[in-house]
């Protein structure tokens, strides 16, 4: 019933063990496993729908609607709630948590060990460059976030964090312009139109982007603390290399 546990379950479950994933698992903007998700019936997290599937176990997030979780438990369904990962260490541990819940400890331990090793192998030890996340409405992510740890791991200082943003928050465009980051990480525009995205085509932001020389688009690989995060780390490493090559 949760995007991130959906993906971990698809990676760890034995054949026939997983009977449904949430509808979010099939959304391209959010999920790294859209093709794999199509093999499973979708659910929208409704108690009636989930209960009628007769599951022995439901994997949910800590932000899953409280009434839904409580009712499922009162109906005798085991529910394991997994909090969102806010660090790389937590991301590795979540592999083990879901593996234990599914009775797939050995598979999960092997996956977690490999995940941790690849994270450590990606660690950059040189002088940090500056980077900023910038999304619709001027939203950014700062300290205490998984995205910030990815930046630090790959040799970047997060403008959002140095500007005092903890978790997620708004970074005024003026502050971004004054900081002049060497890399901007932004998002693909959603289909349709929204005023919140207007700031992404503001002339002042365009000027910062032109000076930065390197722009990276975040995608589904950034959303959850799964081993797919390694692809996001790889993109950051490539962005760092492009900055070095451009000097």
Quick one: CA dihedral 229, 235, 239, 244, positive or negative? positive
Give this prediction's pTM.
0.93
Q: For residue 123, what are the CA distances in angstroms to 117, 127, 242?
A: 10, 12, 17
- State residue 218's pLDDT score: 83
Nearest to 105 by CA among 96, 113, 118: 96
Reported as a single tens digit per residue, the pLDDT across 21-44 is 999 999 998 999 999 999 999 999
Residues 59 and 2 sit within 8 Å (Cβ to Cβ): yes
> Which SS3 state, helix, strand or coil, does residue 107 take?
helix
Over residues 38-65, the mean pLDDT reads 96
Rg, C-alpha atoms of the chain: 20
Over residues 239-247, the mean pLDDT reads 87
């Amino acid at each position: 019933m949760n995007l991130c546990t959906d993906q971990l379950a698809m990676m760890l479950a034995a054949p026939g063990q997983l009977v449904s994933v949430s509808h979010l698992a099939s959304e391209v903007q959010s999920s790294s496993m859209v093709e794999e998700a199509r093999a499973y019936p979708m659910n929208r997290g409704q108690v009636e729908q989930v209960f009628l599937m007769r599951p022995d176990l439901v994997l949910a997030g800590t932000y899953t609607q409280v009434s839904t979780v409580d009712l499922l438990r009162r109906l005798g369904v085991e529910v394991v709630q997994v909090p969102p990962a806010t660090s790389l260490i937590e991301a590795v541990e979540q592999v083990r948590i879901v593996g234990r819940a599914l009775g797939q400890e050995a598979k999960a331990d092997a996956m977690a060990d490999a995940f941790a090793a690849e994270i450590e192998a990606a660690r950059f030890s040189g002088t940090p460059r500056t980077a900023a996340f910038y999304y619709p409405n001027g939203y950014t992510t700062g300290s205490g976030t998984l995205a910030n740890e990815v930046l630090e791991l790959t040799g970047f200082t997060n403008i959002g964090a140095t500007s005092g943003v903890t978790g997620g928050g708004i970074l005024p465009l003026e502050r971004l312009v004054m900081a002049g980051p060497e890399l901007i990480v932004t998002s693909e525009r959603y289909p349709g139109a929204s005023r919140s995205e207007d700031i992404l085509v503001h002339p002042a932001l365009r000027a910062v982007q032109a000076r930065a020389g390197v722009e990276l688009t975040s995608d589904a690989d950034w959303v959850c603390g799964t081993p797919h995060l390694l692809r996001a780390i790889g993109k950051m490493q490539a962005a760092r290399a492009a900055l070095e090559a451009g000097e």
